[in-house]
């Protein structure tokens, strides 16, 4: 499957991908293929899996950057996200 990195925090080692199916997938740094460098808005390919805590991305590799490539996210704050909600995560403009 393919999708777009919604956000990824390098310091905390996780983030989320929006799959082409419209679903959000949790991304942990251990799921990123060796040598890959993930940034917000990167186009990625991944294997979707249903984990104990919800949908997850495995074997993630970058297949293309975006014209609107985000910056590396290494702040302590990340967008608010409630996987049990139908609402989109809130993004803070000050990051």
pLDDT less than 70: residues of the chain: 65-95
Q: State residue 88's pLDDT score.
A: 46
pTM reported for the whole predicted model: 0.69
Domains of the chain in start order, with CATH, are 2-64 (2.40.50.140)
Cα separation, 57 vs 61, in Å, equals 10
């Amino acid at each position: 499957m393919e999708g777009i990195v919604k956000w990824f925090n390098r310091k905390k080692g996780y983030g989320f991908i929006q799959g082409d199916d419209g679903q959000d997938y949790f991304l942990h740094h251990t799921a990123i293929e060796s040598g890959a460098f993930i940034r917000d808005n990167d186009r990625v390919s991944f294997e979707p899996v249903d984990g104990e805590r919800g949908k997850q991305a495995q074997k993630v590799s970058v297949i293309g950057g975006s014209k609107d490539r985000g910056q590396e996210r290494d702040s302590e704050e990340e967008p608010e996200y409630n996987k049990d909600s139908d609402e989109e995560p809130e993004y803070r403009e000050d990051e």
